[in-house]
Structure 1
Amino acid sequence: MARALVVRARATGRRADTGPAPTPRAVSHVVVLVKPEVMTAGSAADALAEAVRVLGQGDAGVLRAAVMPAGDFLGRGYLLLHYPRLHRVAADGPEALSSGAREELGALLAASGTGGAVGAYEAMTREADLSPAALDERCRAAGIRKLGSGSYASVTELNGRPATVLNGFLPSLAAGYTGPGALVGLLECHSHREIDALRGELLGPLHPFHAPPASLRGALGALAREHGTGLSEGRNAVHLSAGHLEGMFQAWRYFAAPDGEGVGSTAFGRSLAERGVSPAAVAALAADHNLAEDSGETVSPHGATENLPRAAVLDRVLRWAATGKGLGT
């Protein structure tokens, strides 16, 4: 299957897909993204097949698979939609942060004395010869501090002056999808295991070379070594949906939507519909905009539901929908 999809995608320059599959009634309905750093000319088929193998051994079945050119994935906006908050913070800077992330940033700015923060793309304009790779390297060398969901800060420098940069790795991450011949692998998966178990035990640590051999990142890291491919925390080979909300939207965008189906055709979307959550309320959660809680604090909907059990996420969304705060109800 993997080799046939890769061959077809390369021959046509377009998406190759195994075709529709029944919506699962499982605890977790997620997407695994096999990234371009391992989906190269010499290793794409092996990387996709290895991901399928590890998923199967970890009790995660593959319902459907697709392969598409990485440049097409980027150009169609899939990468932006895959990591909406990462992109928003990199583009809009502090204005895009949730309440908790703003507090974390305030403490960091006070300790560092840099005075203010800029998003990664604003940082790129502050230094004429600064490349995405150089900004990424500079931020990683300085250290990357997590402020909140999809929100990271590095105290580094721009034009020789101290500066705090938000999501400084993002331009380099996006540039990784522009390499000639690179592909992206997409696997729609289901499992009776909860997402926190899949991510904690099956996905593996951020750096593939430090991940256990039986994990997705460990297995793909070993394959990358065989092909002489360098991986890192930023080029980490594979992503698995971080929560039931994220998994729902990814399964919809990559598989159901191209078939003309709505979000309600996904497993979690169906559960929300059965509990009376309107399509408008569900759609309002897609872009992961800040959502106001009863306390007045704002949260990232995707981040606030990361790694939570399915029942807990259902309850959280039902509460959001009942208040109607920002959900278009």
Structure 2
Amino acid sequence: MTGEEARALVAGAQATGLRSGTGPPKTPAPRTGSHFVVLVKPEVMTAVRATDALAETVRVLGQGDVSVLRCAVMPAEDFAGRGYLLLHYPRLHRVAADGAEALHSGARRELGSLMTASRTADALGAYEAMTREADLSPAALEERCRGAGIHKLGSGSYASVTELNGRPVTVLNGFLPALAAGYTGPGALVGLLECHSHREIDELRGELLGALHPADAAPASLRGALGTLAREHGIALSEGRNAVHLSAGHLEGMLQVWRYFAALDGQGIESTAFGRSLAGRGVSLAAVAALAADHNLAEDSGETVAPHGATENLRRDAVLDRVRQWAATGKGLGT
């Protein structure tokens, strides 16, 4: 895919207000290597700068030995309105909505330690926290939580010890309401790229994606390059508004390729490279589809784990073995 093709997709989405895409790839992704999605976020896909942001993403991916198999652009508001944003970050949203009940066992222990150290008695999901102060906006809650410090409890689970109505409270995923609001800006777009590389996902995320804060990311990385572009045009980026996402693992990559592309073609998980490998090992793909929601899975030890987090950055063969093991026990896989 070229930069000019990327620019044409942006122009198409802006002209119609609808999704604009390149269509199915001529050949399926190879069964080896990494098959994943890159999502270019609305903070850099603004009405004025979206063409440059998507073209720059394509350029950096090419230099990083990544092939773009197909691409789509759609209005950010439509992306959120159709439920893609919730499904892209299912655990972030679940923890923000349900609070501590949504945490896996390891994250609950981390939360307990934090609450003991901070002497806070209450832990609230972000949306519950929003109801505790009449004038509290999503942006104000995020600023308060980031100012207090954000502690990672586990996959998709973060906590901040702050105050609500003058009382100390632990807020879970307090940045999420503001993140969601960022997808409602007028004219903003989302870029979706189905990609393949011979490089492992942990290497791609460690080197090609770049540091969480674009200001700290290497200039040749995706976040570094998009951060430079943003600064040139007065766009403020941060850890929370970090311009671009690259699938956190082979499992997440498979599910995102399926959701954003294959499902719209009427195809199932078996059309993805990782799905074909799972099917070749006798794993029921109907059961694997249940992992898309990232619900907690019970292990034989009695611990619960987040499937996306438990497979994040693992090598391909290790993820295949882990998913096959989950499918063999039937725990949490639609049984």
What is the TM-score normalised by the length of structure 1? Answer: 0.99
1:15-26 equivalences in 2 (<5 Å): 15-21=19-25, 22-25=27-30, 26=32
Q: Is 1:41 paired with 2:47?
A: yes
Q: CA deviation at 1:41?
A: 1.6
The alignment partner of 1:284 has SS state of: helix
Conserved in 2, the CA contact under 8 Å of 1:42 and 1:227? no
Q: Deviations over 1:223-260 (max 9, x none)?
A: 00111100001110000000011101100111101111
Conserved in 2, the CA contact under 8 Å of 1:217 and 1:236? yes
Conserved in 2, the CA contact under 8 Å of 1:169 and 1:234? yes
Measure the CA separation in 1 of the matches of 2:28 and 2:129: 43
Conserved in 2, the CA contact under 8 Å of 1:251 and 1:266? yes
The alignment partner of 1:285 has SS state of: helix
Q: Is 1:308 paired with 2:314?
A: yes
Give runs of ≥4 in structure 1 deviating > 2 Å. Answer: none
Deviates more, 1:97-106 or 1:318-327: 318-327
Measure the CA separation in 2 of the matches of 1:133 and 1:302: 28
The alignment partner of 1:154 has SS state of: strand
The alignment partner of 2:286 has SS state of: helix
Measure the CA separation in 2 of the matches of 1:205 and 1:10: 30
Aligned residues: 329
Q: CA deviation at 1:325?
A: 1.0
- RMSD over aligned Cα atoms: 0.7
What is the TM-score normalised by the length of structure 2? Answer: 0.97
1:187-226 equivalences in 2 (<5 Å): 187-226=193-232
What 5-or-longer segments of structure 1 have no aligned partner?
Answer: none
Q: Is 1:173 paired with 2:173?
A: no
Measure the CA separation in 2 of the matches of 1:83 and 1:246: 10
Q: CA deviation at 1:280?
A: 2.5
Task: Identify the residue that residue 189 of structure 2 maps to in structure 1.
Answer: 183
Measure the CA separation in 1 of the matches of 2:246 and 2:279: 24
Q: CA deviation at 1:328?
A: 2.5
Q: Deviations over 1:37-67 (max 9, x none)?
A: 0001221011001001101111111000100
Q: CA deviation at 1:116?
A: 2.1
Identity %: 82
- Equivalent residue letter for 1:13: G
1:1-329 equivalences in 2 (<5 Å): 1-21=5-25, 22-25=27-30, 26-329=32-335
Deviates more, 1:309-318 or 1:19-28: 19-28
Measure the CA separation in 2 of the matches of 1:87 and 1:326: 19
Deviates more, 1:71-80 or 1:280-289: 280-289
Conserved in 1, the CA contact under 8 Å of 2:216 and 2:224? yes
Measure the CA separation in 2 of the matches of 1:249 and 1:128: 38
What 5-or-longer segments of structure 2 have no aligned partner?
Answer: none
- Equivalent residue letter for 1:269: G
The alignment partner of 2:134 has SS state of: coil
The alignment partner of 2:72 has SS state of: strand
- Equivalent residue letter for 2:69: L
Q: CA deviation at 1:162?
A: 0.5
Conserved in 2, the CA contact under 8 Å of 1:207 and 1:236? yes
